[in-house]
């Protein structure tokens, strides 16, 4: 089937009646590029969102999944059901930031070497203040992908409910090369709206130190497995593996200083981070190799913002805890 439009705008939808109209208005005002919107309703009754077809003058397919399987599965269903050569994602409670958002996401693809574009985006906080998120390679916000690139390397979402974004984008980064590049754009195209019921940003950071951690590790390991099934390990892949552990170390440090948490709650969060960091370490570090670790570890740690000597020493002690080695205090 030949694609008529340039971009497939894919939106996972679940209990979004209060927010989805604002999201669709931000899509409907796009110009300078042709697109089709794919709403993937994740486990709600057939026909629940059909009223939107009459309310909005745009090309729109509404796909219903019988079982609620999470946004990653819904996004993958949208990819598999669409034909457009470029793919952009938006959540049903967010908005594009201007009428030229898709145009600016797509513009770098004028270069044939561009395989993925990651634009900056705005994160709205609870008090309605705004934070600029730059050079982000985790969230799907503000990103666009060349379908040909995804198909070539069979880049797909893992069937998890947390942090599936990082698994998808890690695959893209690992497969990127001089002829298929990730383009980091400073154009701001997306607004991550605050929503009180959001799983990611409610319950006093519970998600950040629980589901987010297990999801991060599961999806990183999934991404590396996918990549290693198609190519030999190289230094760029070793770098991404090493960077994953320094990210978990930072989460470990932050878990220990959570505000408004009891000592018992903090201990529970720390133990959860340790459990999944240990799983990551034991799977990934033998693949990285001691020679590369010695060469690159301090550099990668510095990029995480933890480049002071005391942090490095603490990082090395933390690694020993993950391996089960005893520290000088005789503790695990």
Q: Output the tens digit of pLDDT for each of the chain's 332 residues.
A: 455 789 999 999 999 999 999 999 999 999 999 999 999 999 999 999 999 999 998 999 999 999 999 999 999 999 999 999 999 999 999 999 999 999 999 999 999 999 999 999 999 998 999 999 999 999 999 999 999 999 999 999 999 888 899 999 999 999 999 999 999 999 999 999 998 766 554 544 556 777 889 999 999 999 999 999 999 999 999 999 999 999 999 999 999 988 888 999 999 999 999 999 999 999 999 999 989 988 898 888 888 777 676 788 899 899 999 987 655 444 43
Q: Does 201 map to a domain?
A: no
Query: Alpha-carbon distance 237 to 303, whole Å?
Result: 16
- CA 11 to chain centroid, in Å, comes to 15
Structural domains counted in the chain: 2
Contact by Cβ (8 Å): 19, 91:
no
- Same domain? For 140 and 241 the reply is no
Closest to 162 in 3D by CA, of 215, 219, 98:
215
* H runs (alpha helix) in 9-122: 20-28, 51-55, 71-81, 101-106
* H runs (alpha helix) in the chain: 20-28, 51-55, 71-81, 101-106, 147-152, 164-175, 211-228, 235-255, 263-288, 290-303, 309-323
Q: Does 2 map to a domain?
A: no
Residue numbers of the domain that contains 278: 207-323
Final residue before a domain boundary, out of 136, 165, 192: 192
- Same domain? For 79 and 182 the reply is yes
Q: Write phi, then psi, for 97 (nearest 5 degrees).
A: -85, -15
Query: Alpha-carbon distance 288 to 240, whole Å?
Result: 10
Query: Alpha-carbon distance 217 to 223, whole Å?
Result: 10
- Same domain? For 119 and 149 the reply is yes
- Same domain? For 17 and 110 the reply is yes
- Same domain? For 127 and 234 the reply is no
- Same domain? For 54 and 172 the reply is yes
DSSP 208: G
- Same domain? For 122 and 234 the reply is no
- Same domain? For 22 and 161 the reply is yes
**Residue for token digits 């980091």?**
184
pTM above 0.85, yes or no: yes
| CA-CA-CA-CA dihedral for 14, 17, 20, 25, to nearest 10 | 160
Final residue before a domain boundary, out of 163, 192, 221: 192
CATH of the domain at 11: 3.90.550.10
Q: What is the DSSP string of 152-163?
A: HTT----S-SSS
- Same domain? For 143 and 280 the reply is no
- Same domain? For 172 and 229 the reply is no
């Amino acid at each position: 089937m030949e694609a008529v439009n340039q971009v497939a705008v894919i939106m996972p939808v679940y209990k979004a009646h209060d927010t989805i109209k604002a999201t669709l208005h931000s899509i409907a005002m796009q110009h300078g590029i042709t697109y089709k919107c794919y709403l993937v309703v994740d486990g709600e009754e057939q026909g629940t969102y059909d009223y939107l077809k009459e309310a909005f003058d745009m090309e729109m397919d509404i796909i219903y999944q019988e079982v609620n399987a999470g946004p990653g599965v819904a996004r993958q269903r949208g990819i598999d059901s669409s034909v457009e050569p470029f793919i952009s994602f938006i959540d049903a409670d967010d908005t594009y930031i201007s009428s030229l958002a898709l145009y600016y996401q797509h513009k770098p693809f004028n270069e044939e070497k561009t395989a993925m574009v990651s634009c900056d985006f705005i994160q709205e906080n609870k008090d309605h203040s705004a934070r600029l998120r730059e050079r982000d390679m985790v969230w799907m916000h503000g990103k666009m992908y060349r379908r040909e690139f995804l198909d070539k390397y069979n880049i797909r979402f893992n069937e998890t409910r947390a942090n599936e974004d990082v698994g998808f984008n890690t695959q893209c980064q690992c497969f990127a090369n001089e002829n298929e590049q990730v383009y980091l754009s400073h154009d701001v195209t997306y607004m991550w709206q605050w929503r009180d019921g959001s799983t990611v940003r409610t319950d006093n950071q519970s998600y950040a130190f629980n589901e987010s951690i297990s999801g991060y590790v599961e999806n990183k390991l999934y991404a590396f497995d996918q990549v290693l099934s198609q190519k030999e390990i190289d230094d760029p892949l070793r770098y991404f593996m090493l960077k994953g552990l320094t990210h978990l170390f930072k989460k470990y440090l932050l878990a220990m200083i959570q505000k408004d948490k009891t000592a018992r709650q903090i201990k529970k969060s720390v133990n959860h981070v340790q459990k999944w960091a240990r799983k990551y370490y034991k799977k990934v570090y033998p693949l990285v190799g001691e020679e590369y670790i010695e060469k690159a570890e301090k550099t990668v740690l510095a990029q995480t913002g933890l480049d002071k000597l005391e942090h490095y020493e603490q990082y090395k002690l933390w690694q020993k805890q993950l391996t089960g080695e005893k520290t000088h205090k005789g503790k695990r």
